Amino acid sequence: MNPAPTDSRPTPCSIITGASRGLGLGIARHLLQRGHRVLTLQRSPNADLAAQATRLGANLEQWAVDLTQPAEAAARLKTWVLGLPRAQVASLHLINNAALLVEPGPVSGADAASVSAAMRASLEAPMLLTGAFLAASGDLTVPRKVLNISSGLGRFAMAGSAVYCAAKAGLDHFSRALALEEGERPHGAGIVSLAPGVIDTDMQVQLRGADPARFSSQGRFAGLKAQGQLDSADAAAAKVLACLDAADFGQKVIADVRELAQS
């Protein structure tokens, strides 16, 4: 952990899962640049991100946690949020970004342990972390936001991606119900489930590298890359953070960066 900044003015504080690479790393980089206090959760902390924080004098903590075992991570997060010095928090955000794919193909051929791990990291972990976050920050009157990174595949079905589709549809509906709960509270948190577009990350490598005999959409993903239609992680992160920053955050719970860009 970096030493706490000597300046004790309130600063925005953001927690993000899956910041070791891909979209999450892009988001974490932007947040540090903007002066947020940042906590990240993933299996492998990122040395370059730590170096960036050191250069900027930013407050970064990276936890090495496996979100297929989310209860322990959620309990640890609850303690961490309860320990935040209230006077130094300008706003508090949880970005549930981490997700784990099962090898693309029919569920009938999927390894049961992989299906279970994917659902735990991609859906159960966001639910438990969100519960811990909200429970530990309910006394705060500064803006609190939960941004769940969803996918178009939570809204449109695709053969060979049933587990991922189910995890993201679950995340969307969890977000809808949670937004209703928070709407019943004074100073309730804003909730958004956001599809981030298509991004040039390891997840896309996994999709276009799949066996076309088992995954009929493999060619579609190969085409996205070949035709230069993937956003860089940096560009996608900027779009995600434009959603987080929006004055009307939470008014539309189910969102897509491609719609936000047009509005």
Ligand X SMILES: NC(=O)c1ccc[n+]([C@@H]2O[C@H](COP(=O)([O-])OP(=O)(O)OC[C@H]3O[C@@H](n4cnc5c(N)ncnc54)[C@H](OP(=O)(O)O)[C@@H]3O)[C@@H](O)[C@H]2O)c1
Asked if 199 interacts with ligand X (CB under 6 A), we say yes
Please answer whether residues 101 and 119 qualify as being in contact, where contact means their C-beta atoms are separated by less than 8 angstroms: no
What does DSSP assign to residue 197?
Answer: -
Least gap, CB of 221 to ligand X (angstroms): 9
Q: What angle do CA 60, 179, 98 make, to 5 degrees?
A: 40
Q: Which is nearer to ligand X, 72 or 245 (CB)?
A: 72
State phi, psi for 17 to the nearest 5 degrees: -95, 150
- Residue showing the smallest CB distance to ligand X in the complex: 22
What burial class does residue 52 get, using C-beta atoms within 10 Å of its C-beta: 0-12 exposed, 13-18 middle, 19+ buried?
A: middle
Q: Which pair of tokens denotes residue 50? A: 């730590």
Rama region for 80: left / alpha / beta (φ>0; ψ in -120 to 50; rest)? alpha
Asked if 165 interacts with ligand X (CB under 6 A), we say no
Q: Which of 43, 76, 155, 214 binds ligand X (CB under 6 A)?
A: 43
Please answer whether residues 213 and 159 qualify as being in contact, where contact means their C-beta atoms are separated by less than 8 angstroms: no
Q: Which of 81, 222, 204, 206 is nearest to 146 (CA)?
A: 81
127 is catalytic: no
| C-alpha–C-alpha distance, residues 217 and 214, integer Å | 9
Q: Which of 22, 170, 190, 250 binds ligand X (CB under 6 A)?
A: 22
Least gap, CB of 182 to ligand X (angstroms): 21
Q: Which is nearer to ligand X, 111 or 202 (CB)?
A: 202
User: Stretches 29-37, 105-113, 192-200, 210-218: which one binds ligand X (CB under 6 A)?
Assistant: 192-200
| Binding map of ligand X across residues 216-255, x = CB under 6 A, - = no contact | ----------------------------------------
User: Stretches 84-92, 97-105, 183-191, 253-261: which one binds ligand X (CB under 6 A)?
Assistant: 97-105
Q: Which is nearer to ligand X, 18 or 170 (CB)?
A: 18
Q: Which pair of tokens denotes residue 56? A: 């900027």
The residue from 137, 151, 164, 249 that is catalytic is 164
Q: Which residues are catalytic?
A: 164
Positions that interact with ligand X (CB under 6 A): 18-24, 42-44, 66-68, 97-100, 121, 149, 151, 196, 198-199, 201-204
